[in-house]
Chains A and B, each alone.
Chain A
Amino acid sequence: MKKNTKPLSLRVPEPSGRPGDTPDFSHLKLDAAGAVARPDALADPHEMRDMAFRLVRVLDDSGKAVGPWDPKLDPETLRRGLKAMVLTRAFDDRMHRAHRQGKTSFYMKCTGEEAIAVAQGMILPAEDMGFPTYRQQGLLIARGYPLVDMMNQIYSNASDPIKGRQLPIMYSSRDYGFFTISGNLGTQVPQAVGWAMASAYKGDDRLAISWIGDGATAEGDFHNALTFAAVYRAPVILNIVNNQWAISSFQGIAGGLETTFASKAIGYGLPALRVDGNDFLAVWAATQWAEERARANRGATVIELFTYRGAPHSTSDDPSRYRPGDEHEKWPLGDPIARLKQHLIALGEWSDEQQEAAEKDAAEQVRAAGKESEAIGTLGQSRPSVKTMFEDVFATEDWRLVEQRREVGV
């Protein structure tokens, strides 16, 4: 047997800061806004491997849009995006509070990540099927899904579109291109690839778009999805939302210390983009790039959206037990809402007063929807008929379900 010069030792990755520490992001290599070139959307993925290690950014520190990735959006679109992000945050705040008030059992905010689902939900029409995780509520909000229906789902009340069957926030809406959310992580990514394969098989012009968190990329489904997407050149956009945290595990535990998540695409022969996820314009531009590519039948793009999970993982989580309390405030890419607001103001297309009014309006919309939903009932006050518990297991009710339903007396 050969001897090692030193005994072997096991490395277990640790984050740069724990509770009580000063947040330290000095290890991050962040490209300046405008610094990264924009390859042609139809370019060979082998010619753009460096994109997986750079960071596409458009908005600079003064709120100016710079560089080749500037999507040059008109002010109206920017204002719509900002309002949808503001509304998403207002919705989150209210529902988080509703949980604290005992009105529901569970909630998950997307604070700090609003730009991602909102921008992507605005670019792609509802005909392009989204395969979200539980943190893309911005997709529904950007596509104009009724807030009251979201709340009805969260309250599992008599008007819950999915009849009280799922944990709060596991929305489902075919009409809004929002695939039914599952608690099982990663499963929806290869499903999105299959959906996209079906669209291609039928000669359709619709795309699929999926999301997965940094933590869940460790699931086998992620590997399967990328393999199938590459093999069959499926028209799908595969997003990885790297918000640095999977509950209490920092992204290093998922393999993020060794390489970027975007770079995982390289091994599959897929193009990868790595993008400032708090920069509405950069998210928009990258998604548009991937969309152009998919619509031209060049297949899938992997996009790593670099962001920070500002809120607790869920209402059942306390981040002060595993990360520095002020880490979010120190996040070098800032806040997506503040940055887009600053940009619009720099353009002369927005003001603090308008922002204040938009926030008030969002709060009012959420309040009105809350009133309407709570009038139907919060958790336990109202629910669909118990009979519906036995429905939709199969297309038609099985004899066993009929018997069991009668046993319950409904």
Chain B
Amino acid sequence: MTNNQSNDFVVIKAVEDGVNVIGLTRGTDTRFHHSEKLDKGEVMICQFTEHTSAIKVRGEALIQTANGEMKSEAKK
């Protein structure tokens, strides 16, 4: 992994209670290996690592990455 990739991180701030941040495995099979529940106002700073190649956010949250800022929405 290049140094650039290993430094990549994402900032997630929960806008509502019960936002789930789910880590997906790196490699041939893409499984969920870890989840984290965030309550309103809680912030999580996640890095892409040897084990995690993708991050999924469920629920309303504010997300900041190197590519910009976006908002995930709650399922209606």
Question: Is the A/B pair a real complex?
Answer: no
Interface residues in chain B, defined as those with a beta carbon under 8 Å from any beta carbon in chain A: none
Task: Write the residues of chain A forming the contact surface with B, with a CB cutoff of 8 angstroms.
Answer: none
